[in-house]
Chain A
Amino acid sequence: MPTTFVRAIRDALYEEMKRDENVLILGEDVGILGGAFKATEGLLEEFGGERVIDTPISEALIIGSAIGAAILGLRPVAEMQFGDFISCGFDQIVNMAATLRYRHGGKAQVPIVVRAPSGAGVHGGLFHSQNPETFFFSTPGLKIVEPATAYDVKGLLKASIRDNDPVIFLEHKFLYRRIQEDLPSEDYVVPLGKALVRRGGSNLTLITYGAMVHACLSAADQLADEGAEAEVIDLRTLKPYDREAILGSVKKTNRVLIVHEDRKTGGIGGEIAAMLAEEAFEHLDAPILRLGSQDTHYAFSPPLEEFILPNTEKIVSKARKLLEY
């Protein structure tokens, strides 16, 4: 029986809470309702109100109290109902959590996970579609993870809970019920900091994460029909990103297209492109190309959303330009 992406999240939480009594969940509507997306369904019944806490609408409190509990030994998993609301807890993440270990002389740790349903394509409009990774990308002391498959979301969430640093865990809501696969019943983790080659190829490299991984794989199939083999790299962890994997692939194919749903200008694709230009200059047979959302807000009306977001067609078209060069 295949497990959906969102169910895999739920299972990961369940298993970790069973495994470690210090794991607890807090957020809006996580207990009684089981979460706005049902990611915490049934956990209140199983573990009780002290470990699954329905909070007031207080993002700063959700994250701040998670920090307070974490430094004394608990492992809280804080949920932002929508990733868009993470901005209400920005100070707690960037100034409190990210600096805590640093200013306490290395004698404290903040093992929190902040889960945030992000991403567009669900007619969410401006405040239910955001991709907040760049808000935190340059803040030291944080880790940022964005899985693309049901297998990975379960393994990475477990790894994030067991990790001793603050992890921003971005769950692309487009994938919640749209993808599923059979998952192993035994315990497994997917390591943080390691990208995965989803598809091997020798003509060009597609570097991507989140929902765009699937669009890239579809694009790669189309490109294969046209005689070009695309290598698709799923970053999985955004901070820190797997430089070795990226460099290894680009040195092989010499042509690279970075695809993410976040806006093109200021998206993390810029950092990756600059790193490649710096460290793989002599391996580039074409300019480094990027594809992201248009530099505007995630508008609501369908034709606008269609125009704004990357998709398989746009990826194929951009990849063709890269190959033609």
Chain B
Amino acid sequence: MAQKVVMPQMGESVVQGTVAKWLVKEGDRVKEDQPVVEVSTDKVDVEIPSPAEGVLSQILVREGQTVDVGTDLALIDAGQAAAASPSAKTPETAKGPAEEPSARPPEPVQESSELEERRRLSPLVRRLSKEHGVDPASLKGTGLGGRVTKDDILRSTARSAEEKPAEVPLNSESSKAQPPKTRSAPAGPPGVAEYTPPRSEVKEGDEVVPFTRMRKLIAAHMVSSKRTAAHVTAVAEVDVSEIVRLRREHGARLKEKEGIELTFLPFIIVGTVGALKEYRVLNATVLDDQIIIKKEINIGIAVDTQEGLIVPVLHQADELSILGIAKAIGELGEKARQRRLSPQEISAGTFTVTNPGRKGNLFGTPIIFQPQVGILRMGEVKKRPAVIEVNGEDALAIRSLMYLSLSYDHRVIDGVTANGFLHRTRELLEKGSFGL
């Protein structure tokens, strides 16, 4: 009677594991619970204990091979006496039920035949998925054997198949964003039937507003971004009282003399840029399974227009003074509202700052602009009582406070980094001089 050593599921999102090291040989006697093999997964390295006492009669997966969770790794012959067949090379004896295709050495990645069927893409589907920025592997196919068909692609996209973005109101890079080619998990956990949301009905009196081209693009981008990045949001409370003071001091003069509008945004940008210089991994993009840490710091500034959100880009913001930034913001904003932005002005952004304005509420969970990895959202400035230190003593004061929400891509940025960046930004904003 043969027992099996099986690749366990170490964590909900783990689907594969690699055999790191066999701790016993074929033919060895093993006791129940004795560790027989070390496996390593995305999350953790672990020893796997034998399920039974007996002889490890056959190793099915070699060291270094990666297999799906649930794959048989070895056979234990539980009924065998001490003298076991030490044939390590050719497993002629214990064939048994262990005729897994995973035993074949040359294929490190085991795929069930069903998975193979689903990956079979027709030329049309390949082209459409590229054009629409849809990863077919993330779809459930309705074709033969679960194949993804043209209809599956079209149903899953918000845009129509003929759409090709001519004038690009969005950051043009993000509109070209591809979902990364990671080894994505099968759609949905096993055993859960696919959910089809109810279709909206149009009743009399309803107002039907068809998607404009821009709306289609935004909709697609937002959904795609959510599907691509692992969004986490951290929030910091920033004491912007000093900035308020600087604004009061210099604002009127700058406006009159140089036509510069000194809003909060230039300050936030300066602080952000300063922190990005130290936490460079937030000034990066993802390409397949690589992080491209960008040399230039180009800050995208989300601007709200009548048709929707546009994100002009402030190129090489680290080389501008706060006045330079304020001026550039003013110009870009004006051009954005008049739809006069050039392609360069809406491309190559590496990090985005978004300011919802006076009615922006406290904080939010913004969506990252692909293919960037972070986005900072400003909240309303509110005067609140706060505890400050005066002469070493705690005291109560009225301070101007703003929440900064940072959404970051947890595929490439861990909490420690993100929090460090946010913390540094706050520091620079609260203590910086800004060169005014």
Counting CB contacts under 8 A, is B392 at the interface?
no
**B143 and A282 form a contact (CB under 8 A):** no
**A282 and B144 form a contact (CB under 8 A):** no
**A285 and B149 form a contact (CB under 8 A):** yes
**B144 and A281 form a contact (CB under 8 A):** no
Q: Considering the chains assembled together, what is the distance between the CA atoms of A286 and B126 in angstroms?
A: 12
**B124 and A283 form a contact (CB under 8 A):** yes
Q: 1/0 contact trace for B118-136 toward A, CB 8 Å?
A: 0000111111000000000
**B147 and A282 form a contact (CB under 8 A):** no
Please provide the chain B residues from 95 to 123 with a CB less than 8 Å away from any CB of chain A in the complex.
122-123
Counting CB contacts under 8 A, is B221 at the interface?
no
Residue numbers in A under 8 Å from B144 (CB-CB) = 324-325
A283: nearest chain-B partner, CB-CB:
B124
Counting CB contacts under 8 A, is A179 at the interface?
no
Across the interface, A325 reaches (CB within 8 A) one of B123, B127, B147, namely: B147
A203: nearest chain-B partner, CB-CB:
B151
**A282 and B127 form a contact (CB under 8 A):** yes
Counting CB contacts under 8 A, is A284 at the interface?
yes
Q: Considering the chains assembled together, what is the distance between the CA atoms of A282 and B143 in angstroms?
A: 18
Counting CB contacts under 8 A, is A254 at the interface?
yes
Please provide the chain A residues from 126 to 176 with a CB less than 8 Å away from any CB of chain B in the complex.
none
Closest CB in chain A relative to B162 CB, distance in Å: 12
Across the interface, A281 reaches (CB within 8 A) one of B123, B125, B143, B149, namely: B123
Counting CB contacts under 8 A, is B426 at the interface?
no
**A254 and B124 form a contact (CB under 8 A):** yes
Q: Considering the chains assembled together, what is the distance between the CA atoms of A283 and B126 in angstroms?
A: 10
Q: Considering the chains assembled together, what is the distance between the CA atoms of A282 and B127 in angstroms?
A: 6
Q: Considering the chains assembled together, what is the distance between the CA atoms of A282 and B149 in angstroms?
A: 13
Residue numbers in B under 8 Å from A284 (CB-CB) = 122-124
Counting CB contacts under 8 A, is B150 at the interface?
yes
Closest CB in chain A relative to B136 CB, distance in Å: 12
Q: Considering the chains assembled together, what is the distance between the CA atoms of A283 and B122 in angstroms?
A: 9
Q: Considering the chains assembled together, what is the distance between the CA atoms of A281 and B149 in angstroms?
A: 15
Residue numbers in B under 8 Å from A285 (CB-CB) = 122, 124-125, 149-150
Q: Considering the chains assembled together, what is the distance between the CA atoms of A281 and B150 in angstroms?
A: 14
Q: Considering the chains assembled together, what is the distance between the CA atoms of A316 and B126 in angstroms?
A: 28
Q: Considering the chains assembled together, what is the distance between the CA atoms of A282 and B125 in angstroms?
A: 8
Q: Considering the chains assembled together, what is the distance between the CA atoms of A286 and B148 in angstroms?
A: 11
Residue numbers in B under 8 Å from A325 (CB-CB) = 143-144, 147, 149
Residue numbers in A under 8 Å from B143 (CB-CB) = 324-325
**B150 and A254 form a contact (CB under 8 A):** yes
Residues of B within 8 A of A (CB): 122-127, 143-144, 147, 149-150
The 25 sampled A-B contact pairs (Cβ below 8 Å) are: A254-B124, A254-B150, A281-B123, A282-B123, A282-B124, A282-B126, A282-B127, A283-B123, A283-B124, A283-B127, A284-B122, A284-B123, A284-B124, A285-B122, A285-B124, A285-B125, A285-B149, A285-B150, A286-B122, A324-B143, A324-B144, A325-B143, A325-B144, A325-B147, A325-B149
Residues of A within 8 A of B (CB): 254, 281-286, 324-325
Task: Please give me the 4 A-B residue pairs with the lowest Cβ-Cβ distance, nearest first.
Answer: A285-B124, A282-B127, A285-B150, A285-B122
